[in-house]
Amino acid sequence: MSSKTLTFVLMDPPYESENLTTAFRLLDIAARRGYDINVFAYEGASALAFTRQAPHPNPVHGKNVAEENHPTTKDQVAALLAEAKKNGGKVDWVSCGMCVDERGVNELVPGTRRGSPADLHALVEACDNLLAIPTK
Partner 1 sequence: MAKKTLNIVESAYRAVMEEQDDTVLWLLAAMQAAGADHTVVLRGNAVNYAVAGQGAPGLTVGEWKQTQAPRMDRDVADLVENRKIRVLVVEEDLTERGIARGELVPGVKVVSRKTLPKLFAEHALVSHW
Applying CB under 8 A, which residues contact partner 1?
14-18, 20-21, 24-25, 27-28, 31-32, 58-61, 63, 67-71, 73, 75-76, 78-80, 82-83, 86
Query: Closer CB to partner 1, residue 83 or residue 119?
Result: 83
DSSP, residue by residue, 26-44 = HHHHHHHTT-EEEEEE-GG
For the bound state, the minimum distance from the C-beta of residue 70 to partner 1, rounded and expressed in Å, comes to 7
Query: Closer CB to partner 1, residue 14 or residue 115?
Result: 14
Query: What is the CB neighbour count within 10 angstroms for residue 68?
Result: 16
Single out the residue of 120, 72, 130, 133 nearest to residue 93, CA to CA.
120
Query: Closer CB to partner 1, residue 54 or residue 118?
Result: 54
Contact 51, 73 (CB under 8 A): no
For the bound state, the minimum distance from the C-beta of residue 116 to partner 1, rounded and expressed in Å, comes to 26
| Cα first-last separation, the chain | 36
Query: Closer CB to partner 1, residue 25 or residue 121?
Result: 25
CA atoms within 13 A on the CB side of 51: 9
For the bound state, the minimum distance from the C-beta of residue 133 to partner 1, rounded and expressed in Å, comes to 14
For the bound state, the minimum distance from the C-beta of residue 84 to partner 1, rounded and expressed in Å, comes to 8
Strand pairing partners for 121? none
